[in-house]
């Protein structure tokens, strides 16, 4: 479950605090042939897709947030189409050279349906295609657990204060993040938004098993989009690259 129903321009500001857009775009682009087709599962406000579209790829983004998809459509982007849909319901007649999911979105897909989503992803790959999944693994959650956090994000004359509360449901192995966004706009107006999301606490072995079950073979693992070594333990995301089993590595 997640909401992400707040104005996309504020998400874009928050995102900049966490992400290296140039690195993730270069990384993803290296897995797509010229003019190739790309699918982003949980594309948010379309930030990365717009960059990929500008490089001549044909892009599709799927997200469950109506407000983020509305923002993404208004922001446009060469060769980018957006679908307001949950990833687990999305189907396409056309295949893709690259299917990716960034910024722990994989952890937000319903655990019960993750297996199906990855199987469908494998079916949507064109010959020689790749999957790039960035997910938060077990220790990432354990090490960064704090019951309450306050963070400030600034950009475009806007100040966003994010007051977040985290809780763990050990029976479901999920982590809930509930947050209030206090936004002061460039003209001094203040507004409040609530946001929440649940994340499945995934482990590396669990994700590798799900990929194998979907007929996908892991070809590389990194700790980030600058090809940092995969974290043996501790903080940091895990970026997994996979292709259809039997097709070999990139």
Q: Measured from the CB atom, is 104 or 201 closer to ligand SAM?
A: 104
Stretch that binds ligand SAM, among 99-107, 159-167, 184-192, 238-246 (CB under 6 A): 99-107
User: Minimum Å distance from CB 246 to ligand SAM?
Assistant: 29
Taking CB under 6 A as the criterion, the residue among 6, 10, 15, 71 binding ligand SAM is 15
Both tokens of residue 79?
A: 């060769």
Task: For residue 6, state whether it binds ligand SAM (rule: CB under 6 A).
Answer: no
User: Minimum Å distance from CB 218 to ligand SAM?
Assistant: 21
Task: For residue 25, state whether it binds ligand SAM (rule: CB under 6 A).
Answer: no
Task: For residue 103, state whether it binds ligand SAM (rule: CB under 6 A).
Answer: yes
Query: Binding mask 33-72 vs ligand SAM (x if CB under 6 A, - otherwise)?
Result: ---------xxx--xx-------------xxxx--x----
How many residues contact ligand SAM, by CB under 6 A? 22
Q: Measured from the CB atom, is 206 or 245 closer to ligand SAM?
A: 206
Give the nearest residue (CB) to ligand SAM: 44
Task: For residue 102, state whether it binds ligand SAM (rule: CB under 6 A).
Answer: yes
Q: What is the DSSP string of the chain?
A: -B---S-HHHHHHHHHHH--HHHHHHHHHTTS-TT-EEEEET-TT-HHHHHHHHTT-EEEEEES-HHHHHHHHHH--TTEEEEES-GGG---SS-EEEEEE-TTHHHHS-HHHHHHHHHHHHHHEEEEEEEEEEEEBHHHHHHH--SEEEEEEEETTEEEEEEEEEEEETTTTEEEEEEEEEEE-TTS-EEEEEEEEEEE-B-HHHHHHHHHHTTEEEEEEESSTT-PBPPSSSSSEEEEEEEETTS---
Binding site for ligand SAM (CB under 6 A): 2, 4, 15, 42-44, 47-48, 62-65, 68, 86-88, 102-105, 108-109
């Amino acid at each position: 479950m997640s909401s992400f129903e707040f104005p996309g321009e504020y998400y874009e500001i928050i995102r900049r605090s966490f992400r290296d857009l140039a690195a993730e775009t270069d990384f993803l682009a290296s897995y797509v042939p010229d003019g190739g087709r790309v699918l982003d599962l949980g594309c948010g406000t379309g930030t990365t897709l717009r960059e990929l579209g500008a490089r001549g790829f044909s892009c599709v983004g799927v997200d469950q947030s109506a407000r983020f998809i509305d923002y993404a459509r208004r922001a446009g982007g060469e060769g980018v189409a957006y679908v307001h849909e949950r990833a687990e319901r999305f189907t396409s007649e056309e295949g893709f050279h690259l299917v990716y999911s960034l910024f722990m979105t994989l952890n937000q897909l319903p655990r019960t349906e993750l297996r199906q989503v990855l199987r469908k992803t494998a079916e949507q790959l064109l010959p020689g295609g790749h999957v790039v999944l960035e997910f938060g693994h077990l220790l990432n959650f354990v090490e960064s657990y704090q019951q309450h956090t306050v963070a400030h994000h600034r950009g475009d004359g806007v100040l966003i204060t994010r007051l977040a509360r985290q809780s763990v449901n050990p029976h479901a192995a999920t982590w809930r993040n509930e947050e209030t966004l206090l936004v002061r706009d460039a003209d001094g107006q203040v507004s409040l938004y609530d946001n929440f999301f649940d994340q499945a606490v995934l482990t590396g072995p669990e994700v590798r098993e799900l990929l194998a079950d979907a007929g996908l073979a892991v070809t590389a693992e990194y700790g980030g989009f600058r090809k940092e070594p995969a974290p043996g333990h501790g903080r940091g995301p895990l970026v997994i690259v996979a292709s259809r089993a039997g097709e070999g590595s990139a």
